[in-house]
Every structure is written in C-alpha cells, then in structure tokens.
A = this chain, B = another copy of it.
Amino acid sequence: MDGGINNPGVVAFIDALLDGRLRLGQTVKQDELCELLEMSLSPLRESLTLLEAEGLIQVRKRMGVAIFYPDVRFVGSTFQFREFLEAEGLRRFVPRVTDEWVQSTAEAHLEIIEYVRQVNDQRIFAKPVKALEQAFHGAFIGAFDNEQITANYQRLMQKMYLLRLINLDAVNAVNTIQSMREHLQVLDALKERNVDGAVDALQRHVRGVLHRTLTR
C-alpha cells in the first residue's frame, strides 16, 4: 500500500508544479493537462480523482481543473497534522533509538551543513538535503510501525513540498542550515533519551519551518 503517492499521473502533476509548468491557483482544461503531463485523458482522469481527494485540485464542470492555492487554514492544518504525527512518532522512537543512529545522523547533518554552505545553490543541495530530511523525520513516523499512518504522512509531506512554492525565496542556504541546526537540537535531546526535550525541539523545528515558509 502506497496511499496513491506513486500514481504516475499524480507524480507528473506534482513535478509540473514543482518545476513551474503549472502554478498554484491556476485553472487548466483537461485537454491542456493531457498535453502538459504527456498522458491521455483516461489515465489523467483516474489521477484527477486522487488529486481531488487530497484537496490539491477541484474538477469543475465546464471550467476545467482548478489547482488549489493554499490558504492560511490549509497551511495551518497541514502543519498541525504533521507536528502531531511526528511528535507522537518521536515519543515512540526514543525507547528504540540506538547511539549509533544518533551519532551517524548527527554527523550526516554536520556534513550537509558544510556542503550547503559551500555550494550555496539550492538546485544542487536540494536533493541530498531532502534525502536527509526524509531519513530524519521518516525514522519517527516509522516508529509507529503503521502502514496507514506512514501513507498519510507521505501525502502530508508531498503537500509540504508544494507549500514551499508559496515563497520560493525562503528555500535558500541560510534557512536550510537553520533547519539542519534545529534537527541537531532534536538529536542532542535524543542522545540523552530526553523525550520531552526532543519533542520540544521537534516542535520548535516544525514551527520554524512554518515561519520560514510564510515569511518573506
């Protein structure tokens, strides 16, 4: 079960948004989407139901496909849900975390901070940073050992990456390094098996991401 996250049409749609071929808030005809995503109408429409269920589009008779534009409520509920899932996942992760994991994850963070500082180009550091973020946050969610929670979380994170489109300026080296430093604070508390401290640090991090997402 992948929660529909790997549906080819959904992936193509998200990619088109991320690389600017589609814009948040835009309305496009189904025919235009077919061309843009290089797929035929039938498989496209099968994906549109998924995107609509996720709240990412609305299919409107005669009007076409209206791509969502995240309002304050949407951003808020996405972050609230994320914080809630990760915080509880983290609580469950603490008793099973190993010193080795904390150690190697912390080292990976120190290395990537240096890497981001040096290349200083979002197009280059984006990919390794994303991989590290997924390993970091994914570890907490994995502690639920619950495929349905994992599927929901992956859909949430897909939305999180779309929310960055609101304010692309914020996706820069300074903010990325700040994020990695916040991760390190979680790791510091994890090293001591300090549950409440780790959860506090995680909440500060998620709220930091929210703030940086919305602040110009």
Contact = CB atoms under 8 A, between A and B. Distances in A.
Contacts of A55: 1, 3, 147-148, 151
A50 B155 CA distance: 14
B78 A148 contact: yes
Interface string A156-175: 10000000000000000000
Interface in A47-80: 47-50, 52-53, 55, 73-74, 76-78, 80
Contacts of A115: none
A65 to B, nearest CB: 14
Interface in A159-200: none
| Count of this chain's copies in the oligomeric assembly | 2
A101 interface: no
Contact of A53 (B50, B81, B146): B50
A88 B84 contact: yes
A22 interface: no
Contact size class for A?
Answer: 20 to 34
A16 interface: no
Interface in A2-25: 2-4, 7
A52 B4 contact: yes
B77 A149 contact: yes
A118 interface: no
Interface of A: 1-4, 7, 42, 45-50, 52-53, 55, 73-74, 76-78, 80-81, 84, 88, 144, 146-149, 151-152, 156
